[in-house]
Amino acid sequence: MRKGVWSVILLATFCIMSAIASSPRREETREALRKLRERAEAGDAKALYDLAYLYDTGYDTIPVDSVLSSALYRASAEKGYAPARNYLGFRYYNGEGGLRRDIDSALFWIERAAESGDAKGAANLGWLLAEGKDVVRDYAHARYWLAKAAEAGLPSGQSQLADLYRLGLGGAADTVMAARLYTEAIDGGFPDAAVPLKEMMLEKWKALPRDSAMAIGKSYYRRAPGIGAAIFRELADNGDAEASALMGDAYSRAQGVDYDYEKSLLYFLKAALGGNHPAQFVIGELLDIFPDILSESWALDILSQYDVNTSDCMSSSFWYDKAEKGGVPNAETAARLLLDNTTE
């Protein structure tokens, strides 16, 4: 091992052991750190990376030391550890951790990470090539590296690759592939992918037959609520009772829309008047809590649009009876049926 790497390890070890010497941490903690030190001294690239991480975040009484962590990341990167190569490149790109901003060094290390099979490195390299801000823009190679990240299951890489397919950059446009990749990114925990997916597909989804549009809205509602709510709103505004009930749910729980109590009640009432049984149960519960709520002007305006006896509608039992006849005897059933076929 090079002398410079040895000195970095020794300094890191001294700092760690000094920090925990007076700490009441259990013996196993000291033992784990001792073993980590031994692996690093033996040249274990991952151990060097783990030491670097300790100084990035701090650990117990170990203080954050970004300069030391950068040195340890470099030692790990020089040993060939791909995550260290990627993160070292990231630090050079941003000029962090005591490193001056150096695009050439950033590109060098990120390329080495990508070539080593690191998904994040591939995604970062693809992003750099697609942005073309600090390097020569190359959409074809950006698509290649983002495909590597996407194949490895990295959600951010899937979303970025979908952008290229959506816009036809670096190859032919393919909205089917883009939609699939955006959805995979959403399912993988990258909710930002829902924004371009909705922008690309919403008008097409709205043009589908009612049952198809509803099925798509339900499939996205819990994992990308903004998409579900946008589809439900279109259907609800065209008189669909089930979609109205789902919009009531959306506004009541801020799912894809901002919380709005009045809009929630408005949509639930329209759904109940349209024959949606879970919504009828909700209106019954509402009247139990606020007996005069349907006497307000907004509610009377809606009631006047339907062939109902307004005085009957003021009674919670009227709505509970309708809900029970429709198979909704309690709140649990109402919630289950309301969100039936919506997926996580």
Collect contacts of 210-213 with beta carbons under 8 A, ≥24 apart: 210/235, 210/240
Residue reference for tokens 């903004």: 226
SS3 call for 329: coil
Q: What is the pLDDT of residue 7?
A: 54
Q: What is the pLDDT of residue 26?
A: 59
Q: What is the pLDDT of residue 113?
A: 97
- 139 and 130 Cβ atoms separated by less than 8 Å: yes
Give percent above pLDDT 70 in the chain.
91
Determine which of 10-14, 30-34, 250-254 has the lowest per-residue pLDDT on average.
10-14
Q: What is the mean pLDDT of residues 133-162?
A: 96
Q: What is the mean pLDDT of residues 21-44?
A: 72
Structure tokens given for 274? 């349209």
Contacts of 99 (CB under 8 A, 6+ apart): 70, 91, 92, 105
- Alpha-helix runs per DSSP H in the chain: 3-21, 27-41, 45-57, 66-78, 82-94, 103-115, 119-131, 139-151, 155-167, 175-187, 194-206, 210-221, 225-236, 241-253, 261-273, 277-289, 297-303, 310-313, 316-325, 331-338
Domain span(s) for CATH 1.25.40.10 in the chain: 117-201
Other residues' Cβ atoms within 10 Å of the Cβ of residue 229: 25
16 confidence band (pLDDT: 50, 70, 90): low
Q: What is the pLDDT of residue 1?
A: 41
Structure tokens given for 186? 């959403």
Other residues' Cβ atoms within 10 Å of the Cβ of residue 2: 9
Could you confirm whether domain 1-106 is CATH 1.25.40?
A: yes
pTM over 0.85: no
Q: Which CATH number fits domain 117-201: 1.25.40.10, 2.30.31.70, 1.10.3720.10, 3.40.50.720?
A: 1.25.40.10
Helix axes 119-131, 139-151, angle to 10 degrees: 160
**Is residue 19 predicted with pLDDT exceeding 70?**
no
Other residues' Cβ atoms within 10 Å of the Cβ of residue 6: 13
Q: What is the pLDDT of residue 13?
A: 53
Q: What is the mean pLDDT of residues 245-273?
A: 97
